Structure 1
Amino acid sequence: MGSHAVTASLCFLASLILCASLDAPLWSTDIAYEATGTIEMPYSEIVEPFRAYYDGKNRRSLQVYYDGLNYIYQRADQTPYGALYKVVPETTETTMNEMKCFGANGTSDEPMTSIQSVLPATDNFTNMGPDSYEGLACDRYVMKETNGYKRNTYTLFVLPPTEEMPFKVPVYFEFVGYDNLFGSHYDKYVIKYVTFKVYEDGIPEKVFEISSSYPCEMFPGPGVEADFGLRTASNPIGELLTNTGEVDRQFDKFKSVHGKEYANAAEHEQRKSHFRHNYRFVHSTNRRHLSYNVAVNHLADLSDEERTKMRGYRYTRDNNGLPFEMTDEMVTATPDTMDWRIFGAVTRVKDQGICGSCWSFGTSESIEGALFLANNSTFMTPLSQQNLIDCTWGYGNNGCDGGEEWRAYEWIMKHGGIATSDSYGQYLMADGECHFANATVGARLASYVNVTSGSQSALQTAIATKGPVAVNIDASHRSFSFYSSGVYFEPECGNGMDDLDHSVLAVGYGTINGEAYWLIKNSWSTYWGNNGYTLMSQKDNNCGVATNPTYVNIKM
């Protein structure tokens, strides 16, 4: 057939295939092909498109993710020990989304002589005979393995060769893992192949050449860390099909950094399973090169249900707060940027733990800022979240199972104040007994104010003239759990009252690279976000920052 490409369009083939081959679906390691498709990891909320080129005979491969945002080159044909390259958009203080090439050369200790296929190794698969996949007459191949408590099943659907297409065409590959130790599935991923093209004389070398417009420099980071950035974080197919053990190594590192210890082997495996899915989500999200980055943090071994427990805002009904009155003088006094941290009006970032007490942090920290300003910015008095968790049940709050700031404000006004942290005692990350009568009052409230719902100009003015403001947001998305830096914008975020599930503190606002943001203090420790803070986009009231803000008036 010469050097021309033989192409299979999977939709067209349905009418051509009449019977299934019983031959083993093995592809030669010298094959040269181009494939497109998607990687789907439902437990990690990932659907990632790819285009891949593999030239086994000439020892080079290329994967392109997210329609050209990431190019990963494996060049075993370069240098004695091979080389890896990554071309991605880079944003710095002086450039925006400029395509940049990073490279790393293999060494005798760390060779880079493996190239990456998007086809699974099928030596141990069993041909189960003809089967149908979405109307295509295929052969189905299955491999089952047991590894300790784990039972893994690999399923591959392949179109057999015909006279028109004398090669096997991958259609669908699935992995499902079940762990008997904790009695549930621990992993699932799918590769769906959309097109598959075989090159009989090899893929043209120009496909693997990096444009001279992108001069390559060494990948940032020392040694093994540089290799990791290229080998694993940038190459999800490698992690899925090659089983390099990188997830195990990163989980060990995670446990060491965060001092994680587990009760038994079953919990260890369950936590590692959560980590695996969150780890994959982090790196897939970063390959999209959004306006923000995500990172593995101390929450990476938690389940979705556990992370839900940390979002304890529960909207119920309207309250008795005063309306916000925005005068011309207030508008005039509103600067273009504000950060109350630099004035000393914000206490240190805290960690609420696995307790839905975020509302108590939003309440107490908005009062702390208001008290600081009422005292002419002379001193800061830390106030007790535990006081509110323990004592405001009679006003409709539910401790670690959620609450609302206004209910806490009402309790504080009725009972003569909120206790200082020092006098009330340590934060427990749990419900406790109310002992407010034995504590020292740190602040009293005259009233509280509802900032005009949905008005970003009103919120900006309130922050600038009244101090840090308690706000509620939709924090239900995994992207927020692992936010690290940049301006957070989540298109799936809601901004209605019923969408809000987490209480935080707005301590400022500003603009970066032309994008307006709110400066938000969270209560998930300094391991989360940018030392406990996030920049949340003001676009379209994303995630509802301006939907339900409140601040207090101090009673002196």
Structure 2
Amino acid sequence: MVYFFLILALVASFELGSPLTLETAVQKSLKWPEEYYFKGEEVDYLAGIITPFEMWYSGNSSRSRIDYNDGTVKNYYVVEDDGDIAREFKVHPQTTEEETNVIVCTELFDNKTLYDILPEELNYEYIGPKFYNGKFVDVWEYAEKDEIAKEKTEKTLYVYQEDGGISIPVYEEIKVYNLWIGAVSQHSVKRFYDYSKPVLEYLDLDESCNDTEAVGSVMVESFSSDILSDIDGAFRSYVSRHNKKYRGDEHEIRKQILQDNLRRVIDHNQKNLGYKLTINKFSDRTDSELANIMGALPSLDHVGSVPFPHTEEEVENLAEKLPKSFDMRLRGYISSVKNQAECGSCWSFATIAAVEGALARKNVGQRNLDLSEQSLVDCSWGFNTYGCDGGMIDGTFEYILEHGIPSEMEYGLYLNKEGWCSIENMTELHKIKDFAAVPPLSVNAMKLALYEYGPVTVTINANDAVFSYDSGIFYDQTCNNEPLNHAVTVVGYGVRDGVDYWIVKNSWGEDYGEDGYILISARNNTCHILENAFYPVV
């Protein structure tokens, strides 16, 4: 069959007047350009995110740049003094109460390498030619099956050859299957267009970076112990399954991080402490990289626009009448789990989830309401929020109280990046009347707020164990030794084997924890969950 397609390709090339060299599968290889420019788009089918991009890369000058969403956000990477670590600058629009869509530049300190969008170099198998978008391309495939994790990874590349044997990608598809249930757990596609050599002037920093604000980040797999003796094999499997791509010495750094996390997961799960940890998409990341998606800041003042309506004595009396368990998911109040992706916008997702739930609780006709997290990322900078670099919960509720929230359908899809604020163009905004703070360190006050008013947005400490959570009732007092850094939404409470817990909706996708949720123990203010809690009043 391969030879048949090769003959067809040869005939077609003669008809088109273009030369074609017949090569065997043995002779073919993948060799990426060291200098390139591409346009393209990336589609994450499970997260529902479409991201157009433009990419300039120059290995010779140790610089790269990628623009997202037609240049709305620009990221520049510069390696200086023959080092391996790149300085990263992000240029994006910012909207406050005084200014709308002003361009600003910030420098991010996350120990990044020079960014390169080309596919990871793996042992791809040459499949044969294919006619795609008006030209013949070479099809390459890679597949790996992990019997321990019960996952299968499939990767497909379409490339064509330039002079000198340089491979130019036009299409990359990645699928990961969960073999336990036969479902796809990851599915993404990149399409590449308009390859050319980069114009080096476009790699020069944007003028807005002349006055740069330097900022840091503000914010199910099973393994047995014998895997630690084959960390190289485990690392290769992890890299393939999660579509990781490293350069140079970064491989050893990432492998060491993964090994440390493997050891921690195995040691924990052998203790049977009531909850399980796992290795997942976060398990090779540095602390600074994890901080990028832990974007919540503790509120400066734990007060709402209205006070909590019950005294401490009233709380205790009313709590005696509450049901033992209360789960708003079962009542149809809670929207589906979403995915904030790489943007540190947890504060936006956690507050939106609470508003959606409160409105659905009040009005049955709003049970399918899908409000826009992106509008908060774009427009609420004047309320102690900072786009993809974090935000405060009380400030976010203040913005919603002042301006309201549009639906995602009207405002537009979540971008995983900062965008242009277009709130003034919306025809319908969903309002809240007020918001209130739950009295701190009170289990009964939290239960009462959930039962009487709806979902509660909280800020917790998301430590390594939270990132690795798989199932069960999470209880880890070490997370109380670190500051608040991640916003989530409490949507109910329950009891299992005599242990009270909170039902917590996260924004890391449905593949995290228990279908996107984490059950956090109600004992001892686990991970600070009772310290910075707010709910909307509708």
Same fold? TM cut 0.5: yes
Shift of 1:425: 1.4
After superposition, give the CA deviation of every residue in 1:159-206 in whole Å (9 maximum; x if it has no partner). xxxxxxxxxxxxxxxxxxxxx9969xxxxxxxxxxxxxxxxxxxxxxx
Equivalent position of 2:263 in the other structure:
280
Q: 1:468 to 1:267 in 2, by over 3 A?
A: same
Equivalent position of 2:120 in the other structure:
none
The answer on whether the counterparts of 1:418 and 1:444 sit within 8 Å (CA) in structure 2 is yes
- The match for 2:452 among 465, 470, 473 is 465
The answer on whether the counterparts of 1:330 and 1:465 sit within 8 Å (CA) in structure 2 is no
The answer on whether the counterparts of 1:306 and 1:354 sit within 8 Å (CA) in structure 2 is no
Would you say 1:534 and 2:518 are equivalent positions? Answer: yes
Equivalent position of 2:464 in the other structure:
478
Shift of 1:263: 6.0
Equivalent position of 1:501 in the other structure:
485
Equivalent position of 1:249 in the other structure:
233
Q: 1:224 to 1:361 in 2, by over 3 A?
A: closer
- The match for 1:354 among 326, 333, 342 is 342
The answer on whether the counterparts of 1:420 and 1:439 sit within 8 Å (CA) in structure 2 is no
The answer on whether the counterparts of 2:356 and 2:369 sit within 8 Å (CA) in structure 1 is yes
Shift of 1:287: 2.2
Q: Structure 1: how far apart are the matches of 2:357 and 2:149?
A: 43
Equivalent position of 2:329 in the other structure:
341
Shift of 1:306: 0.7
The answer on whether the counterparts of 1:366 and 1:505 sit within 8 Å (CA) in structure 2 is yes
The answer on whether the counterparts of 1:182 and 1:270 sit within 8 Å (CA) in structure 2 is no
- The match for 2:441 among 444, 450, 454 is 454
Equivalent position of 1:317 in the other structure:
300
Aligned residue runs from structure 1 range 411-426, under 5 A = 411-415=399-403, 417-426=404-413
Would you say 1:373 and 2:357 are equivalent positions? Answer: no
Q: 1:388 to 1:421 in 2, by over 3 A?
A: same
Q: Percent identity?
A: 34
The answer on whether the counterparts of 2:484 and 2:528 sit within 8 Å (CA) in structure 1 is yes
Equivalent position of 1:138 in the other structure:
none
Aligned residue runs from structure 1 range 155-174, under 5 A = none
After superposition, give the CA deviation of every residue in 1:276-316 in whole Å (9 maximum; x if it has no partner). 32222211221232221100111122212111221111124
Q: Structure 2: how far apart are the matches of 1:517 and 1:320?
A: 25
Q: Structure 1: how far apart are the matches of 2:502 and 2:425?
A: 38
The answer on whether the counterparts of 1:353 and 1:524 sit within 8 Å (CA) in structure 2 is yes
After superposition, give the CA deviation of every residue in 1:7-26 in whole Å (9 maximum; x if it has no partner). xxxxxxxxxxxxxxxxxxxx
Q: Structure 2: how far apart are the matches of 1:503 and 1:340?
A: 19
Question: Aligned with 1:293: secondary structure?
Answer: strand
Question: Aligned with 1:371: secondary structure?
Answer: helix
Would you say 1:489 and 2:475 are equivalent positions? Answer: yes
Shift of 1:435: 1.1
The answer on whether the counterparts of 1:454 and 1:548 sit within 8 Å (CA) in structure 2 is no
Give the AA of the match of 1:381.
L
Q: 1:397 to 1:225 in 2, by over 3 A?
A: closer
Question: Aligned with 1:353: secondary structure?
Answer: coil
Give the AA of the match of 1:455.
S
* Higher CA-based Rg: 1
Q: 1:371 to 1:233 in 2, by over 3 A?
A: closer
Moved more, 499-508 or 329-338: 329-338
Q: Structure 2: how far apart are the matches of 1:378 and 1:333?
A: 28
The answer on whether the counterparts of 1:311 and 1:356 sit within 8 Å (CA) in structure 2 is yes
Shift of 1:248: 3.1
Q: Structure 2: how far apart are the matches of 1:336 and 1:272?
A: 45
Q: 1:273 to 1:353 in 2, by over 3 A?
A: farther
Would you say 1:443 and 2:430 are equivalent positions? Answer: yes
The answer on whether the counterparts of 1:181 and 1:266 sit within 8 Å (CA) in structure 2 is no
Q: 1:226 to 1:270 in 2, by over 3 A?
A: closer
The answer on whether the counterparts of 1:312 and 1:400 sit within 8 Å (CA) in structure 2 is yes
Q: CA RMSD of the aligned region, Å?
A: 2.9
The answer on whether the counterparts of 1:347 and 1:380 sit within 8 Å (CA) in structure 2 is yes
Unaligned runs of 5+ residues in structure 2 are 1-81, 86-144, 151-221
Shift of 1:392: 0.8
Q: 1:515 to 1:425 in 2, by over 3 A?
A: same
Question: Aligned with 1:262: secondary structure?
Answer: coil
Equivalent position of 1:388 in the other structure:
376
After superposition, give the CA deviation of every residue in 1:40-79 in whole Å (9 maximum; x if it has no partner). xxxxxxxxxxxxxxxxxxxxxxxxxxxxxxxxxxxxxxxx
The answer on whether the counterparts of 1:524 and 1:532 sit within 8 Å (CA) in structure 2 is yes
The answer on whether the counterparts of 2:343 and 2:416 sit within 8 Å (CA) in structure 1 is yes
The answer on whether the counterparts of 1:381 and 1:442 sit within 8 Å (CA) in structure 2 is no
Question: Aligned with 1:550: secondary structure?
Answer: strand
Q: Structure 2: how far apart are the matches of 1:293 and 1:518?
A: 16
Q: Structure 1: how far apart are the matches of 2:524 and 2:149?
A: 38
Q: 1:377 to 1:256 in 2, by over 3 A?
A: farther
How many residues end up aligned between the 2 structures? 322
Unaligned runs of 5+ residues in structure 1 are 1-179, 184-221
Shift of 1:234: 4.4
The normalised TM-score by structure 2 is 0.55
Would you say 1:545 and 2:529 are equivalent positions? Answer: yes
Would you say 1:402 and 2:390 are equivalent positions? Answer: yes
Give the AA of the match of 2:350.
G
Moved more, 329-338 or 512-521: 329-338
Q: 1:506 to 1:267 in 2, by over 3 A?
A: same
Shift of 1:331: 4.1
Give the AA of the match of 2:290.
R
Aligned residue runs from structure 1 range 102-141, under 5 A = none
Shift of 1:271: 3.6
Give the AA of the match of 2:280.
N
Equivalent position of 1:430 in the other structure:
417
Give the AA of the match of 1:395.
F
Would you say 1:297 and 2:280 are equivalent positions? Answer: yes
Q: Structure 2: how far apart are the matches of 1:510 and 1:430?
A: 36
Q: Structure 2: how far apart are the matches of 1:545 and 1:441?
A: 33
After superposition, give the CA deviation of every residue in 1:109-155 in whole Å (9 maximum; x if it has no partner). xxxxxxxxxxxxxxxxxxxxxxxxxxxxxxxxxxxxxxxxxxxxxxx
The answer on whether the counterparts of 1:450 and 1:550 sit within 8 Å (CA) in structure 2 is yes
Question: Aligned with 2:276: secondary structure?
Answer: strand
Question: Aligned with 2:234: secondary structure?
Answer: helix
Equivalent position of 1:31 in the other structure:
none
Q: 1:249 to 1:181 in 2, by over 3 A?
A: farther
Q: Structure 1: how far apart are the matches of 2:223 and 2:448?
A: 42
Question: Aligned with 1:323: secondary structure?
Answer: coil
Give the AA of the match of 1:407.
G
Shift of 1:434: 1.0
